[in-house]
Structure formats: C-alpha cells, structure tokens
Amino acid sequence: MNQFHLSAVTPEELVKDSSSVLSWLENLNPSKVFIHFDLDVLDLREFRSLLAANPDTYEEMLKKAPKASSMETIIRVLQDVTKAHDVVGLGITEHFPWDAYHLQNMSQRIPLFGNINKTDKAPYNWSL
C-alpha cells in the first residue's frame, strides 16, 4: 500500500459518517470516480455469500474475522460518494453464493440433471 500510496479506511471509521472517504476523494479531486466494491468488506454475520463464509468453516471464520461493515453503512457511503462526485462505474467482486455452489454440485449428480456416477465437486480456490 505504501508503494502505490494507497489509503485504507477501517469499518469503525465509517460507522457514523462517510467523511473519511469523502475527504480522501476531495484531496484527490478526481474528474470521474469508478467504485470497486469487494463484497468481503461486508460483515460475515450479515452477508454470507462470500468465499470466507464456507459452511464447513463458517463458525471458525466468525471467530477469526473482525467485525466488518454493515450493508447499511456501505449503502450510505456509496450514496454519499455518488452525491459528491461523478461516479461512472461500479464493479462488484468477491461474491460466492455457497448455496448456489452446493446446488450446482448436487444437480450434476442426480438423475435427469447430471451424471449419477459423478463423485467430484466443482473446485473453488480457498484454503484456511
């Protein structure tokens, strides 16, 4: 982060208001803003469609993961940034819907949908 002069804001700094993000943007004075929204900034306790929320290790991850931002906080920050700047794009990443993953694996192995002899599962890149 130092090498590229990147800044970070903690979830605690965003709870009351968006001023830390808005001040940072004000200092940069961009003509356009593209928002890169990693869903893994959301608290695992509120949003579980994240790779880290693997049902097999979810309880362990809750103990390890610090409390992150609420959806309401992120909504407010994104609204505030959009009111103050010309937002031209929004990318949303880090979505991993575990239920859909498990349903895909199940449907590939049941009669009429897939191969009933299939035993392997679709891979995902995650390890603790």
Whether residue 81 is predicted with pLDDT greater than 80 in this model: the reply is yes
The whole-number pLDDT of residue 128 equals 41
Sign of CA dihedral 55, 61, 62, 65: negative
Residue 69: pLDDT band (50, 70, 90) is: very high
Whether residue 4 is predicted with pLDDT greater than 90 in this model: the reply is no
Tracing tokens 């002069």 back to the chain, one arrives at 5
pTM for the complete prediction? 0.81
Whether residue 96 is predicted with pLDDT greater than 60 in this model: the reply is yes
26: left (phi over 0), alpha (psi -120 to 50) or beta: alpha
Name residue 19's amino acid: S
Distance CA 54, CA 95 (A): 12
Residue 13: pLDDT band (50, 70, 90) is: very high
Residue 61's beta-bridge partner residues?
none
Mean pLDDT over each residue of the chain, to the nearest integer: 91
- Strands (DSSP E) contained in the chain are 33-38, 87-93
